[in-house]
Amino acid sequence: MTGVATSSPPALVEIRDLVLEAATPRGTAHILRGVSLDIGRGRILGVVGESGSGKSSLASCLLKLLPSNMTRLTGSVRFDGTDLLPLPEGQMREWRGQRIAMIFQDPMTALNPLFTVATHLVDVLRRRHGDITRAQALERARAALVSVGIADADLRLQAYPHELSGGMRQRVMIAMALLVEPDLLLADEPTTALDATVEAQIVDLLDQLRRKLSGSIVFISHHLGLVAQLCDDVCVMYGGTVVETGPVDEVLAAPLHPYTRALLACEIEAHDEGGRLVSIPGEVQDPVAPHVACVFAPRCSHALDACRAGVPALRDLGGMRKVACIRAEEFA
Amino acid sequence: MQVDTARYLVSRLITTALIVFGAMVLLFALTSLVPGDPAAILLGPQATPEFSQRMINEMGLNQPIHVRLWRFFSNVLQGNLGIDIVSGKSVLKMILEVMPYTIALTFSAIVLAVLTGVPLGVYAATHRGSVLDNVLAFVSVAFIAVPSFVIAIFLLLIFAIWLDWLPVLGTSRSGDWLDEFRRMILPTAALAMGWIGFIARLVRTSMLEVMGENYIRTSRAYGLSERLITYKYALKNACIPTITILGLGIGRLLGGAVLIEIVFARPGLGRLIYSAISERNYPVVQGAVLVVVVIFVLVNLLVDLSYSVIDPRIRHAGASRRAGE
Amino acid sequence: MRGLAATFATLRKVGGSLTGAVGLVIVALVLSCALFAPWLATHNPDALDVMNRFSPPSGAHWLGTDQLGRDLYSRMVHGASVAMLVALSSIAMALTLGLALGILAAYLPARSERIVLIVFDVIASFPSLVLALAVVAVFGPSTLIVVIVVAVTLVPHFGRVARSQVLTLKSAPFLEAEKILGASWPRIVFFHVMPNILGPLVILASMDIPVVITIEAGLSFLGLGVRPPLASWGSLIQDGYQYLSDSWVPVVVSSVALGVATLGFTLFGEALRDAVDPRIGREHG
């Protein structure tokens, strides 16, 4: 579903001023520096950024699967009205595998090597539906495997993870997520670790599935092209902040933030030159550095002194578009 | 998949047989290496002409080497481990009489160590930094480092002599089950004590490592209960390094059992070997050592095979653990 | 000189952790007793004084006397020398032999290599103490026999580790480069292979010291270990054990000495391993 929503229904998830800090040997790392974001109901949000932008941490925050060296987590994450952040672990557990499901980046290590696919799926199912019998669970698991394009589902059910290829394991992970029938599905770079051909297959699969899925999806990637293909909305992240959001077609057609523009330029060049090593000059900001200015300023070709003087707010520019740049209007 | 397991099993069995074969050759070679008059040396002060002659006949010491080697092998394979020079009893019979005691002791010690150590380790892993965790950290090293016969002597001193709670030496004469059990408490505890702490620490380390793995993160992400994650998933993964180390420790355990039998004056293979050495009763020593080696090798085989039961990757690779070293 | 500085740096790291520091102190203590026993002891350890048997700790005899009136403290101190003598010589022997066989096994063709490995396995199929007993049964107890047989029980361990280290190293680019440059085989082994694998092996060896001390003590406890006049802690324990009804002091003194020494070396070995490379000998436990 593309296009601009006129009277937007309340978002499924409202994230406001999310701050995540962790202790490292070199000092406090600011992983998320005040992220504000909406995830629309039934919409697919693509979260794009380089490594270190905080996009994976954002997903972990939604599930509250936090690193052990975390020192600070503030802000609010309202899921259908309930703020998840203050919830104690026991209550948070209720949400996981029930209303929220996640697909991880590395399929090779995401499954326990000592247990069959069937065991993984059945345990997830039984957690989701307390009264289901093992036979019923197996049947549903089997059906799920078929729906993600795995032939020989019965055979694969009894297989161990090491007997499956990377692509097949990722399909199993997707099946697992689908079995939960979640309101929110988080896909953290599900194709990054796969070969190009396999990646294409998985992307196709996701494309087919998104129409069937009634919930919202967050698709995290560093690849703008994939996001363009699969998502309704896009959120561009840099250095632990959100720099731009909006419907994907609009943002890509007319990017307003310098970073988004640079990113897009890289993609186009990469496409033309067939390579992937085109990059934006400069380095990603050190997460330990304090947040007192625009995070992108050091690498921005349009930076002014004002940019370095204070943090630009994420401003609403109408039509569901938000940008965190003081010069955004000039680029419109 | 079953073909792979079968193939693995067969290859391990062949290796095991080869090793036992090699051990027999080694044991045989030891006798042959004795310089001078073997009968006189082996029997020492008991070398009366009658005993000497009996020994020479029994061990075929007056025959060429290859004949003796052949005799030795065919005898062993038929279950004939020779005859005790002094008493004339069958060595095999003597061994079978005392073997149950050694096996009972070693087995109980392992069971005690595992049943106590594993839960302690899981607790320490799930309650990091707690009092128990810290106590365990120190105790585990302290007890495994100290030789088990030293622990045995201390236990003896404290519980049997100073406090007089438990019977001291030997096994039950009355054959009373309860008495037998009470007499096993100290020896078993002495043998197991070092291992309890060690296993607990090992389980703790493995569990902590496993808990940080991505597949556990997946289970958490799907809201599986902590109990399910800890006891069904993580524990199984943590078993593998635990069994590895346990397998490596069986040798020490057996050695410890030998000494503890002597400290507590219990019958068993250890005591048998020890008294046979004092009496220069070589056939008994040879036979008993061979039996110990066979038991040791079989236990190692069991440990190796248990990997394929637990870890499907090994089943399918069909590679032996040793080949990978 | 660089090696010396590196050694001190490592020792400092070892001393950094609590367990490492304790281990270091104990090891230093034991080594001092071993080296300076004649000066640290108050009496001749073999001096009999039957009139004063089983005397309790006093000014004259710091830890009392044993069943023959010999000073326990002095015997304990000299016990350290025995323990160190046996431990260090058998480990040195095992290390040399294991290194040689391991390197050999890594370069031999597959068939011969398998034979070496099977020999390793055969030796390893005997629990150390039991193998020692079998050998002692045939050759009679003597200090030399103990050293040799303990060394033999350690050879398979060192041999396998040496072999696997060499195998990993074999594919290393710098070795390939040397071969291409025409370096001779002995040169490659002595100047390039050995220095690189010696490190982990030495660490492993130091972790085996408590194991050797324990086996030797066990054998001496059975009366099958070192021979008089050498008195190991194991024989002291045996003496004390036999006369337990007369006095518990000898047994406790010698047991504590043995226990503390093995504990100290274990702590030290583990801290050393952690300071250099925590991955070494993971299976060693």
CA dihedral sign, ordered C209, C212, C218, C219: negative
Query: Which of B217, B222, B313 shows the shortest C-beta gap to A113?
Result: B313
The domain limits of chain C are: 2-276
Q: Which residue do the tokens 């896909």 mark?
A: A187
Bigger pLDDT: A292 vs C252: C252
Name the DSSP letter for residue A299: G
| Chain B stretch 171-230, residues whose beta carbon is closer than 8 A to a beta carbon of chain C | 198, 202
A104 phi and psi angles, rounded to 5 deg: -95, 170
- To which residue do tokens 């061990």 refer? B59
Residues B1-12: pLDDT tens digits? 466 667 777 888
Which chain B residues in 245-264 lie under 8 Å from chain C, judged by CB atoms?
Answer: 245, 248-252, 254-255, 258-259, 262-263
Per-residue pLDDT tens over the stretch C137-181: 888 888 898 899 999 999 998 999 888 888 887 777 777 777 777
DSSP 8-class letter at A40: -
B113 and B257 both lie in a single domain:
yes
For every residue of B52-98, DSSP letters joined together read HHHHHHHHTTTS-HHHHHHHHHHHHHTT---B-TTT--BHHHHHHHH
Residue B208: domain span:
92-278
Burial class (CB in 10 A: 0-12, 13-18, 19+), C196: middle
pLDDT tens digits along A209-243: 887 778 899 999 988 888 888 899 999 998 889 99
The confidence score (pLDDT) of residue B324 equals: 35
Q: Using CB atoms, pick whichever of B215, B221, B312 lies closest to residue A109.
A: B215
For the purposes of burial, counting CB atoms within 10 Å of the CB of B179, is it exposed (0-12), middle (13-18) or buried (19 or more)? middle
Average pLDDT over residues A250-267: 86
What is the pLDDT confidence band of residue A292, given thresholds at 50, 70 and 90? confident
The alpha carbon dihedral of B207, B211, B215, B219 has a sign of: positive
Is B148 within a domain? yes
* pLDDT confidence of residue A332: 65
CA–CA separation, C211 vs C204, rounded Å? 11
Query: Which of these ranges, A46-55, A270-279, B166-175, C21-30, has the smallest mean pLDDT?
Result: A270-279
The last residue of a domain, from among B77, B100, B116: B77
Tell me if B50 is assigned to some domain: yes
Give dist(CA C104, CA C116) in Å, integer: 9
CB contact under 8 A, C125 and B20: yes
The verdict on B102 and B249 lying in the same domain is yes
Q: Which of B213, B220, B312 lies at the smallest CB-CB distance from A160?
A: B312
Give the pLDDT score at A274: 54
Yes or no, beta carbons of B147 and C258 under 8 Å apart? yes
Mean pLDDT of B236-242: 88
Instruction: Give domain status of residue B131, yes or no.
Output: yes
Q: What is the pLDDT of residues B16-34, one digit of tens each?
A: 888 888 888 888 888 676 6
> Same structural domain for residues B118 and B224?
yes
Is B47 in the same domain as B112? no
Rounded Cα distance, C153 and C132, in Å: 8
Of B296, B309, B304, B280, nearest to B59 by C-alpha is B280
Q: C96-113: per-residue pLDDT in tens?
A: 999 889 888 888 888 888
| pLDDT tens-place string over residues C202-227 | 888 888 999 899 999 999 999 888 88
pLDDT for residue B287 is more than 50: yes
Residue of B217, C68, B268 whose CA lies nearest to A110: B217
Tell me, yes or no, whether B61 and B180 share the same domain.
no
Alpha-carbon span A33 to A183, nearest angstrom: 26
CB C23 within 8 A of CB C275: no
Q: Using CB atoms, which residue from C130, C263, C283 is nearest to B146? A: C263
Q: In this structure, are B158 and B196 located in the same domain?
A: yes
Is residue C209 a contact partner of residue C262, using CB atoms and an 8 Å limit? no
Tell me: ipTM over 0.90: no
**Residues of A with Cβ-Cβ distance to B219 under 8 angstroms:** 112, 123
pLDDT score of A269: 67
Q: Averaging pLDDT over each range in A207-211, B54-58, C87-91, which range is the top one?
A: C87-91
Helix (H, G, I), strand (E, B) or coil at B256: helix
- Smallest CA-to-CA distance from B144 within C210, C25, A100 is with C210
Give the span between the Cα atoms of B205 and A69, in whole angstroms: 19
Helix (H) / strand (E) element for C103: namely helix C72-107
* CA dihedral of residues A227, A229, A231, A232 (deg, nearest 10): 130
CATH number of the domain enclosing B201: 1.10.3720.10
* Alpha-carbon distance B280 to nearest alpha carbon in chain C (angstroms): 7
Name the token pair of C57. Answer: 């700790």
What pLDDT sits at residue A145? 93
Examine the pLDDT at B196 and tell me if it is beyond 50. yes
Q: Are C147 and C90 spatial neighbours (Cβ–Cβ below 8 Å)? A: yes
Q: Which residue does chain B place closest to C137, by CA atoms?
A: B277
* CB contacts, 8 Å: A163 with chain B: 316
Q: Helix-strand-coil percent breakdown of chain A, rounded to 5?
A: 40, 25, 40
Which of chain A's residues have a Cβ under 8 Å away from the Cβ of B218? 104, 110-112, 173
Residue A195: how many other CB atoms lie within 10 Å: 12
User: Which chain B residue's Cα is nearest to A125?
Assistant: B222
B220, B223, B312 ranked by CB distance to A98: nearest: B223
Mean pLDDT of chain C: 84
Tell me the shortest Cα–Cα distance from B303 to chain A, in angstroms: 17
Reply yes or no on whether the pLDDT at A278 is more than 60: no
Mean of all residue pLDDT scores within chain B:
81
- DSSP character for B161? I
Check pLDDT > 50 for residue B113. Answer: yes
Distance (Å, rounded) from C-alpha A254 to C-alpha A24? Answer: 38
Which of C127, C134, C251 is the closest to B153 by Cβ? C251
Residue A67, pLDDT score: 84
Contacting subunits of A (3+ beta carbon pairs below 8 A) = B
pLDDT, greater one: B156 or B177: B156
B307–A contact, CB cutoff 8 A: no
Token pair in block for residue A183: 């309101």
Residue B284 is assigned to a structural domain of this protein: no
- Residue A217 near residue A235, CB atoms below 8 Å: no
Pairing of strands A184-188, A216-221: parallel
Query: Best mutation site among C117, C119, C133 for testing chain B: the one with the most B CBs within 10 Å?
Result: C133
Chains in contact with B, counting 3 or more C-beta pairs less than 8 Å apart as contact: A, C
B98 with B186, same domain: the answer is yes
C244 to chain B: which residues are within 8 Å by CB?
157, 161
- Which chain A residues contact residue B225 at CB under 8 A? 93, 127
Give the burial class of C260: count Cβ atoms within 10 A of its Cβ; 0-12 exposed, 13-18 middle, 19 or more buried.
middle
Both tokens of B199, joined, read: 């296993």
Touching B: C residues 157-176, CB under 8 Å: 160, 164
**Mean pLDDT confidence for A183-199:** 89
The whole-number pLDDT of residue C85 equals 92
pLDDT more than 70, % of chain C? 94
CA distance C129 to C88: 18
C243 interface with B at CB cutoff 8 Å: no
The residues, any chain, with a CB within 8 Å of residue A82's CB and separated by 6 or more, are none
Domain boundary among B15, B49, B77: B77
| CB-count exposure of residue C45 (10 Å: 0-12, 13-18, 19+) | buried
Segment A148-169, tens digit of pLDDT? 989 899 999 999 999 999 899 9
Mutating which of C30, C122, C260 best tests the B interface, going by the most B Cβ atoms within 10 A?
A: C122
Most distant CA pair in chain C: distance in Å? 76
DSSP category for residue C192:
I
Claim to verify: residue B131 and residue B174 sit in the same structural domain: yes
Domain finish residue from B52, B77, B102: B77
Q: Has residue B303 been placed in a domain?
A: no
DSSP code per residue over B187-242: HHHHHHHHHHHHHHHHHHHHHHHHHTSHHHHHHHHTT--HHHIIIIIIHHHHHHHH
- Asked whether residue B317 carries a pLDDT value surpassing 70, the answer given is no
**Between B222, B236, B310, which is nearest A96 by CB?**
B222
Give the separation between CA A9 and CA B54, rounded to whole angstroms: 103
Contact between chains at B27 and C283 (C-beta distance less than 8 A): no
Q: State yes or no: pLDDT of B65 exceeds 90.
A: no
Q: Which of B5-9, B56-60, C14-18 has the lowest mean pLDDT?
A: B56-60
DSSP-derived pairing of the beta strands A100-103 and A184-188: parallel
Give the mean pLDDT of chain A.
86
- Residue B301 in any domain: the answer is no
Q: What is this structure's pTM?
A: 0.80
Pick the residue of B218, B225, B231, B307 with the most A CBs within 10 A to test the interface with A by mutation: B218
- Same domain, yes or no: B161 and B31: no
| pLDDT, tens digit (0-9, with 9 covering 90-100), for A111-127 | 999 999 999 999 999 99
**Cα–Cα distance measured from residue A313 to residue A302, given in angstroms and rounded to the nearest whole number:** 17
pLDDT for residue C202: 85
Q: Looking at the domain that runs over C2-276, which CATH code has it been given?
A: 1.10.3720.10
Interchain touch B–C (≥3 Cβ pairs closer than 8 Å):
yes
Answer yes or no: do B98 and B173 share one domain: yes
pLDDT at A279 over 70: no
Q: Is B316 exposed, middle or buried (0-12, 13-18, 19+ CB in 10 A)?
A: middle
In this structure, the answer to whether residues B10 and B141 fall within a common structural domain is no
Q: Which of A183-192, B316-325, C247-256 has the lowest mean pLDDT?
A: B316-325
Q: How wide is the angle at C-alpha A288 spanned by C-alphas A287 and A293, nearest 5°?
A: 75
Q: Are residues B232 and B147 in the same domain?
A: yes
Domain total of chain B:
2
Nearest to B22 among C118, C128, C210 (CB): C118
Does A123 contact chain B (CB < 8 Å)? yes
Enter the tokens of residue C159.
């041999």
